[in-house]
Chains A and B, each alone.
Chain A
């Protein structure tokens, strides 16, 4: 059994004994085989000394047990790393940011506490997966949709806290943005409820997110200021219909009016589905043409009128080709279910994994991958700049190693936001993984020099990315550190997560 860093064996054993009393001995894991289950399956340091590994894990089932675990950790200064279900693959999984931390595994807290159909919201615990919430809603025959990511086996709360997104209509696709109220256990074991939940016997916790006074929920997104034990989410009343058009242009410069039109229609809420921009990558014959998907959810009559308006607007884009897709009525028929992308209809699935394995496009699959996810302006000019930037720098970064880096995928899932995703394969070959890490670090630096930075990063690169947010001598990082020191003076909660370290572990 490994010891957490800077913790004496006697203290660690006392903490373990305390946790066994608090949650039951079956739910404190110390054997190598059990603790190994918390390794990051896609770690770019897999089986290397630098791989982030836990020393133990503890799995409470109630908020009271979470309080007890945290208090004991505070007493013995043992670092914890909270996870919901730990499926944040490509961004760290369930492995801690600080090696030797004890994983605080919340997947046993898996109750759907409420699904309110008239007001379309849910209140859940961290162990509730998208599958769980979907099944709960189906069994109860409620006429609301969830917004699953792809794949959809992870935690609803975990995905939101990590900054994940989905594929149905706005505003539901921004999972943190569509939450409403949370319950948090602080480092001293105290429970805080945010928004209207701060009112004893609150009647509107999931009805209004802001409450009274400064809003603190953002401290817990990609954060380490507390352990979120409940969270409310807006759900989508089932729309009557869905229709998607695809608009393509062959000349690169035409992506500028293409995206301008897309943005205007989205910002007017004429288009409300998860749009997607394709192109800019390197195909067999060089740079690929551009296309966007333009989906609409709503009553069928309205969808048809909106789609006609969308067609008119894109007709003004030079050389644009408009293809109107099939209109689907919901609930989907058995036949329709086979022809759609299920996540667009709020149905969680694992089909993404079926695409892994050898394909003509991916002749050397590595199995794992990590994501480089810089935010760029949502303009055609920025997209062209990034596509050129990628083409120019890929040979330098790859350095003749045929690393199989895939990108850029321009993600327009969130309103007003563009992520230019690049994927790095991770496999068993340590030398190749080392080249991949070097390449990742180069992309971070190259992108930051252009004014682009990631919204999310794999655990081993979170410090590197956090350092790029350096305006005014790292004022933002210093503000976060000030808050961290105030709410978690012993630095026991997820030290290092997203580049926020407690005082005793800061370097320099």
Chain B
């Protein structure tokens, strides 16, 4: 359930010039240094653009090759989570989030931010935000940058009550030729 503080934060976000995708470098937006890493699917230019935006905010960006997180999991994320439930963020295809979410539960982490982006060649990208529900307003060709700013603004905090599983496992019906990307934050909850 959204509390008053979250509602006010949501209202503040809604007032930002998100439609343009040209957020000012706002000192009130937290740097990404608290995040262990930001994962981007190297097959998608949108994800790389998202990663570049967050790298500029101090994030440590990792490229996921061929959608396979095995080496990242074994060499990087699992050792980190064994020490502390540090947050992760990403813009990837859904299976990357699905795998990490399943693995995260044992370490006390949940998906606290989850949005989906239906990328269709020749059409505007369709955005749906599942968690938190107020994070609407992502549109325009520079949407990966907008989403990156959303992620930075959201940070690792929990904005609703402790969440259950996300919708990463199952996909909606998509237009033919479309690809589903998902932006997300996994954090302690």
Contacts and interface: CB of A to CB of B under 8 A. Distances in A.
Interface in A69-127: 87, 107
B68 interface: yes
B67 A356 contact: yes
Interface in B64-106: 66-70, 73-74, 78, 93-96, 98-99, 102-103, 105-106
A354 B67 contact: yes
Given A427-B171, A428-B172, A350 B162 contact: no
Given A37-B164, A358-B178, A426 B95 contact: no
A140 B70 CA distance: 21
A353 B162 contact: no
B171 A365 contact: yes
Contacts of A131: 73-74, 78
A46 B170 contact: yes
B163 to A, nearest CB: 6
Interface in B104-139: 105-106, 110
A34 B171 contact: no
A399 interface: no
Contacts of A428: 167, 170-173
Given A37-B105, A429-B172, A367 B94 contact: yes
Contacts of A467: none
B161 interface: yes
Contacts of A33: 110, 161-164
A427 B167 CA distance: 10
A429 B173 CA distance: 7
A39 B105 CA distance: 13
B158 to A, nearest CB: 11
A428 B165 CA distance: 14
Contacts of A365: 171
Interface residues of A, number: 36
Among the interface residues B93, B162, B163, B169, which one has the most CB atoms of the partner chain A within 10 A? B169
A37 B169 contact: no
Specify the main secondary structure of chain A where it touches its partner.
loop
Interface in B164-184: 164-165, 167-174, 176-180
A350 B177 contact: no
A364 B176 contact: yes
A353 B95 contact: yes
A216 interface: no
Contacts of A348: 70
Contact of B179 (A46, A354, A358): A358
Contacts of B168: 367
A363 B170 contact: no
B120 to A, nearest CB: 11
Contacts of A153: 99, 102-103
A368 B165 CA distance: 14
Interface string A411-445: 00000000000000011110010000000000000
A5 interface: no
Contacts of A429: 172-173
A163 interface: no
Among the interface residues B95, B163, B180, which one has the most CB atoms of the partner chain A within 10 A? B95
Specify the main secondary structure of chain B where it touches its partner.
loop
Nearest to B178: A358
A42 B170 contact: yes
A37 B165 CA distance: 6
B66 A354 contact: yes
A83 B17 CA distance: 48
Interface string A138-164: 000000000000000100000000000
A350 B165 contact: no
A30 interface: no
Contacts of A39: 164-165
Contacts of A368: 169-170
Nearest to B92: A357
B69 A350 contact: yes
A188 B110 CA distance: 36
A32 B167 contact: no
A173 B161 CA distance: 44
A350 B163 contact: no
A202 interface: no
Contacts of B98: 41, 353, 367
A349 interface: yes
B169 A353 contact: no
A426 B169 CA distance: 9
A150 B180 CA distance: 24
Contacts of B179: 357-358
Contact of B164 (A36, A357, A366, A426): A36
B150 to A, nearest CB: 23
21 contacts: A33-B110, A34-B164, A36-B164, A37-B164, A41-B98, A41-B102, A42-B170, A87-B102, A131-B73, A131-B78, A135-B74, A353-B67, A354-B69, A356-B94, A357-B93, A364-B173, A366-B170, A366-B171, A367-B169, A368-B169, A428-B173
Of all A-B residue pairs in the complex, the 4 with the closest CB atoms, nearest first, are A354-B67, A36-B164, A41-B169, A367-B171
Given A427-B173, A428-B170, 5 more contacts: A33-B161, A153-B103, A350-B70, A357-B93, A367-B170
